[in-house]
Amino acid sequence: MTKVTFYQNSNLEYIGFTVEDHSGYAEENSDIVCASISALVINTINSIEKLTVDAFDVDQNQEKACIKFKFDGNHSKEADLLLKSLILGLQGIEDDETYSNSIDIIFKEV
């Protein structure tokens, strides 16, 4: 199961996220849930990089199927909207009966 954790500060502003593990929906390289999650996450990171001036750190490990994303300080309304769009897309996967056992979305205050 893919575990996606969104980190929020005490004001409930998103400050980063972590995506861990394969979904286990199908075999590697033919797993549409993993592909969907990856596409949403990578597109969000690329969009924040290209469409905002926000600074962030990304650490990824393909062997461990892990991506860690964290803003370097405050971030723009545009970046916040892009993160909310990512959440919406991932929740669409989680809410689907067929795929709900393949993804777990967690919100954590840090």
Domain CATH number, residue 15: 3.30.70.1490
Q: Which pLDDT does position 28 carry in this prediction? A: 81
DSSP 34-100: HHHHHHHHHHHHHHHHHH----EEEEEETTTTEEEEEESS---HHHHHHHHHHHHHHHHHHHSTTTG
Q: Give the structural domain span for 6.
A: 2-109
Q: Into how many domains does the chain fold?
A: 1
Residues of the chain with pLDDT under 70: none
pLDDT digits (tens, 9 = 90+) for 76-87: 999 999 999 999
Tokens 């769009």 correspond to 85
